[in-house]
A and B are shown apart, each in its own frame.
Chain A
Amino acid sequence: MESASIPARPSRRRSQVVGEFISKYGLIALLLVLPVAYGIQDLQDTGNLARLATNVKDGLSNGAIWAMIALGYTLVYGIIELINFAHGDLFMLGSFMAYSLIGTLGLTVGGGTAGLALGLILILVLAMIGCGLLNAMIERVAYRPLRAAPKLAPLITAIGFSFILQNTGLLWLGGSHQGVPDLIGSQDVLFTILGVPVTHGDLLALFVTAPLVVLLVNFINRSRIGRAMRATAQDPQAARLMGINVDTTISFTFVLGGLMAGAAGLVYALYQTDVWFYSGFTAGLISFTAAVMGGIGNLKGAVLGGLIIGIIQQISDNRIGTEWTPAIVFAYLVLILVFRPQGLLGEETREAG
């Protein structure tokens, strides 16, 4: 036996090493393809990288929104290993809530800055709570009864709920795009660094996302409920034996995911000044790609993945054409799942390994 396996061993190791190398750096190389290619093109055409840098900046702002949605995917996947397919549509409903509340509160550009800020903060809180409760409700109705069922069952109900939410949006505001009043002047340039214009929208994305993400990560790492969530994620049975109410913990995870989706909804509505019932589907898939790219179940990974996918999306929007962006993002999704299903930061999950 031993003599037979000796000659085989080195060659297998070498192929393993090559495989690991591809798995480790292939994804990073893949992610660099678009920026590097267009960076070289820019240098040849104009001699500077201002256009690429603007793309990256816009991408980061968009990516902040994707990151918030991706956190919802990754939280839920981390705890019950379910791709919450309805999450993108939950985000869409969040943007609808923001749109409607702006109308209800009668916020206009003409009003004072203080009133506007106060109103927007109120809307942020309301949209977050609305989405959080809705997400917990979906969990209660569609996922909890199926906890013992085969794993594909809750995924199918998630798809079902995705359509239900989408049609709720369709009933609510109709099939056409709705323009959101440009309350913050999202495209107004605040200042310019190195040829990159920074707009109000960019700052909004930064100032809403960063505190929320820091708060969330700290909450999960430090608080009692956060510890219960991590324990449930590791082993629900053991967590239950330790006196953790697993069902409540899972519900709470959905609430947290919903809160982030609601916040993302408001930022999206203000940043894009446009809401549409179908936006949730694409946004959901892009954010899911982000969550997988970072390593699903990994909070920091979701944020990193969101920002990266935002940049890729923006470069593709700007250079290749908006109509091709989803196809390119999905191609990335397939490639990531094939070559590095554990993502950039994540550990190997049982499913992907």
Chain B
Amino acid sequence: MSALANRLQQGKRVPVLGKVDGSKLLAIALIVFALVLPFFYDSGSGFIEDCTVALVYVVMALGLNIVVGFAGLLDLGYVAFYAIGAYTMGWFASSFFSTRDIHIGVAEQLQSQPGIHINWLIVVFIAAIFTASAGALLGFPTLRLRGDYIAIVTLAFGEIIGRIAVNSDEGVFGIGTFNLTNGRAGITPVDKIDIPVVDRFTTLDLRPWYWTALGMALVVVFINVRLRDSRIGRAWIAVREDEVAAVSMGIPTVRVKLLAYAMGAAMGGAAGTFFGSFYNTVNADQFEFSFSIFVLAMIILGGLGSIWGVIAGAISLSFINTRLIPDVLNSVPSKIGLDFDLTELGFGIFGFLLVIMMVLRPQGLIPERRRKAELTGEVHADDGLLEVQAP
């Protein structure tokens, strides 16, 4: 172990100078590339739409990465936070509660409409608070549990939220007649995102949506990097590696774990508000268990705990989902004489991916250094090289 620690330390010390410059340059290049990308495509093109979706998935995956990757708490109910975020957008930025008449910071066209209309920039924070509270609430029962039991409690939580979403068009749990979610019909239309100074967002020009999503993703990446390198980030990793040791080092595990749940949930909620507005509907069919697994597959593909890996995983899986499976691979079954719709099997493919990744490359595409060492039991000599390539 001490040899390992030594090598880790050396590995850390030697390439530091080169690494910082290289990765920073690469990061800046990537950001510039992402910023100018929409100019090369038609403003309403499907590609921009897919990119926007991919960026929102990056936000979600990074949120889940805090819980699963940093703190090591397997969360199978992440869809619950997407749901709560999306419904917050639906409740506070649509004409759904038509008996209310509240308008805060919205454009003049919306002033005359009934219902609650609050500017997205405010709703994001409301949703973040809602979901963070829900995350902490979910965290409480899992504090005494470890490992796979946490996974099951979170899964149950996600399913309960999903059921409430589907069935609460007339009372919750059969009590009352209040229409909370409008069930499968959903809440639609939802207000467009409205940012001061900029023109109003439309469905025809997707560039502003893209840049908003990119802005969100950049903020979340920044938060993630800062959190990872902070006291709290080290506490998460300590809890993940060995909870007993972490407690004996004086880490307040309760607070640290709840904070992980709350942070992860808030990012899921923020992404949920964006999707609510972007898809122009919030309906219960969006919030199924398979969605949680979809996001989980992103972070496993990319590498648990590795921010850059998770970004790569989220973008690639998102494109596999929106492009590769429906457009490219869908013609394969008929070519080899089979008759089925491959898009239906999307989640079978992701399931296959989970198995393959776990068996063959459990550390993910761009592994986090610490987890890689843990999984392979050694540090490879090309570690420094890997660090330079991956910002």
User: Which residue numbers of A lie inside 8 Å of B, CB to CB?
Assistant: 81-83, 141-142, 145-146, 149-157, 159-164, 166-168, 170-171, 175, 281, 285, 288, 292, 320-321, 323-324, 326-328, 330-331, 333-334, 337-338, 341, 351-352
Contacts and interface: CB of A to CB of B under 8 A. Distances in A.
Contact of A163 (B160, B293, B362, B374): B293
Q: Which 5 A-B pairs have the closest CB atoms?
A: A167-B348, A163-B351, A160-B354, A330-B156, A327-B163
Contact of B359 (A145, A150, A170, A281): A145
B300 A175 contact: no
Given A145-B359, A151-B147, A320-B174, 20 more contacts: A83-B151, A152-B72, A153-B362, A160-B350, A163-B290, A163-B293, A163-B347, A163-B352, A164-B348, A171-B345, A281-B289, A324-B167, A327-B164, A327-B167, A330-B160, A334-B141, A334-B156, A338-B141, A352-B146, A352-B149
Contacts of B351: 159-164, 166-167
B159 interface: yes
A171 B333 CA distance: 12
B16 to A, nearest CB: 29
B347 to A, nearest CB: 5
Contacts of B174: 320-321, 324
A341 B144 contact: yes
A334 B159 CA distance: 11
B159 A330 contact: yes
5 contacts: A160-B353, A171-B340, A324-B167, A331-B156, A333-B152
A337 B153 contact: yes
B76 interface: yes
Contacts of B125: none
B167 A323 contact: yes
Contacts of B354: 156-157, 159-160, 163
Nearest to A144: B359
A142 B355 CA distance: 7
Interface residues of B, number: 45
A171 B348 CA distance: 10
Interface in B274-297: 289-290, 293, 296
Interface of B, secondary structure class, is helix
Contacts of A83: 148, 151-152
B166 interface: yes
Interface of A, secondary structure class, is helix
Nearest to B293: A159
A146 B149 contact: no
Contacts of B30: none
A167 B347 contact: yes
Given A324-B174, A327-B160, A157 B359 contact: yes
Contacts of B147: 151-152, 155, 351
B157 interface: yes
B225 interface: no
A164 B145 contact: no
B173 A320 contact: yes
A168 B289 CA distance: 18
Interface in B306-353: 340, 344-345, 347-348, 350-353
A285 B156 contact: yes
Contacts of A328: 173
A111 to B, nearest CB: 33
A175 B141 contact: no
A323 B284 CA distance: 13
B152 A156 contact: no
Contacts of B164: 327
Contacts of A149: 358, 362, 375
B56 interface: no
Given A163-B350, A333-B152, A341-B149, A175 B344 contact: yes
B156 A157 contact: no
B244 to A, nearest CB: 12
B163 A351 contact: no
B340 A288 contact: no
Given A159-B354, A160-B353, A327-B164, A352 B152 contact: no
B352 A327 contact: no
Contacts of A170: 344-345, 348
